[in-house]
Amino acid sequence: MGWKAFSIATTFSIFFLLPFFAFLATANDTLVPPETICKSSQYPSYCTNLLPKQNAKVHDFARFSIQKSMFQSQKFLNSLNFYLESTFTKETINALKDCLFLSQLTSQYLSKSNYVALKNTNETLYTSQVDDTQTLLSAVITNHQTCLDGLITVANSNLTIENDLISQLSNDSKLYSVSLDLFTKGWVHEKKNKTLWNSTGLHPRFKNGRLPMKMSNRTRVIYHSSRGGGETHDDDDQSGVLVRDIVVVSQDGSGNFTTINDAVAAAPNNTINATNGYFMIFIKEGVYEEYVSIPQNKAYLMMIGDGINRTIITGNHSVGDGWTTFNSPTFAVVAPGFVAVNITFRNTAGPSKFQAVAMRSGADMSSFYRCSFEGYQDTLYAHSLRQFYKECDIYGTIDFIFGNAAVVLQNCNIYPRLPLHGQFNPITAQGRTDPNQNTGISIHNCTVKPAEDLAPSVSTVKTYLGRPWKEYSRTVVMQSFLENLIDQAGWSIWSGDFALSTLYYAEFDNRGPGADTSNRVTWPGYHVINATDASNFTVDNFLQGNVWLPQMGVPYIRELTTFN
């Protein structure tokens, strides 16, 4: 099955790429040789050997590389399907399944990127198209790296995996990096970011502590009935977020479903955008012991609970019990446009079970409002694409906010917990592997303070703002309140001098006893920045959030904050 599919893919690729060589030959704009355009890439020799041996525009080289990436992603998918028909250990099968899931997403992202690049045969794209495509190509690299990390952990037990799949992954890593580099050179220009100061702190449609909603009379009746009646000020705003339909989850049988997974299955498939409104799942108070995974075809879902520690979704999968980190989450979502409000996501595996994720999000343009994420090591896995967290509580120990999304945490409470004896707490472990990825963790106007179990031990347990999981790790902490649990050095190494000159860690205008930067690390990649640099990591400039957050009704601070 696997090799037959590979043969078809090969034939298709050769046929598909032939017209492209002709297009390159007729390009009449400024032309450059591949050696010139590849000189500043991460892999100049690979890039030069990859591209056609003729002069062309950088845009055409980018189109060629993205098409080549599409073919390679399909080839790797076929290899995975072939190996999944074989007999391996449970650990190897789990790693292969993660790769299959990620590679399917990668193929979709490359297809979308290719469509944008080929549809526009000139050098001009809308800003939103550039941002979307750079985000997708960044996620391709993230997916690929996650797969590679998983296979490396099982490679020693299977030389076939090591010699074949890991070899393919290593070569494809260079290809995807070149594709992102060429796209960046061609279309991503220096942004003229705004350095604005926002003193209101709220999106104008947000009021009275709830989301403004626009819904039909029928939907409004169901919603208020599920909440036991009460005030209506959260849904009488006709300019608010549009809700097209609603189902209720209740363990006592009074709703439409008794499990969250059944409600997700009932949601419409392949909603293109939020123009027609969100499908709302209201989850009544209760402890839901189930593992929820929202696939990509369930776009524009809104989940609302009864509140933190009232609506709780809980599980205990962990690496210690044989799960991969990627597949350990209690709740996982890759559906774009996802919104969660007033829910606790919990992993109870404990500090002795190593990595154990409460929430994994690879959902583009997703937001989490007034939610709680509770775990120990690796609590919140902000895996990829664009994400926003507002007024959330996040609890954990080692690397408990990690991943390679472009993510802004705003007005959140970050609670380091008591780790095992001899361990320390790095709060973040950001996973950027390529300098062209538009990813990173921005912690804006948050509060970092010890959880109750750590409070008596803050003088003996070292807590840091983060450590570099990957070579181009990027984390910014700005305008936040840091209690005295933060070590004076601020940041911790991963291993030796790994990534210390390539990472980007920055602080701006923080407050509190842990915010003093006079004794911070002196790494080349660490910076105390000014307002102009900090503005690069606001909701508007880092996430382009003013384009997509308004339709969700979630409040947000667009820019830097003026403190009274």
The set of catalytic residues is: 399
Identify any residues that bridge with 390 across adjacent strands, giving them in sequence order: 369, 410
Which tokens sit at 351? Answer: 């500090």
Residue 216, CA atoms < 13 Å, CB-side half-sphere = 11
**Is the distance from CB of 60 to CB of 27 less than 8 angstroms?**
yes
Say how far residue 112 (Cα) sits from the centre of its chain.
Answer: 18
C-alpha to C-alpha distance for 393 and 32, rounded to whole angstroms = 51
Which tokens sit at 209? Answer: 């502590």
Q: How far is CA 10 from CA 5, 20, 51, 105, in A?
A: 9, 16, 18, 20
184: left (phi over 0), alpha (psi -120 to 50) or beta: alpha
350: left (phi over 0), alpha (psi -120 to 50) or beta: left
Backbone angles phi, psi at 431, to 5 degrees: -115, 40
Which residue type occupies 364?
A: D
Element (H, E) at 547: helix 545-548
Nearest Cα residue to 399 out of 373, 435, 425, 361: 425
C-alpha to C-alpha distance for 280 and 249, rounded to whole angstroms = 11
C-alpha to C-alpha distance for 537 and 41, rounded to whole angstroms = 25
C-alpha to C-alpha distance for 11 and 20, rounded to whole angstroms = 15
Q: Are strands 278-283 and 241-249 parallel, antiparallel or unpaired?
A: parallel
283-310 burial, b at 16+ Cβ within 10 Å, e below that, comes to bbebebeebbbbebebbbbbbbbbebee
Which tokens sit at 169? Answer: 């992954």
Which tokens sit at 493? Answer: 């190494």
Identify any residues that bridge with 478 across adjacent strands, giving them in sequence order: 444, 508
**Is the distance from CB of 529 to CB of 560 less than 8 angstroms?**
no
Nearest Cα residue to 290 out of 265, 270, 256: 265
Element (H, E) at 464: strand 463-466
Q: How far is CA 22 from CA 64, 137, 259, in A?
A: 11, 25, 55
109-119 burial, b at 16+ Cβ within 10 Å, e below that, comes to bbeebbebbee
Three-state SS at 462: coil
C-alpha to C-alpha distance for 19 and 470, rounded to whole angstroms = 38
C-alpha to C-alpha distance for 335 and 299, rounded to whole angstroms = 5
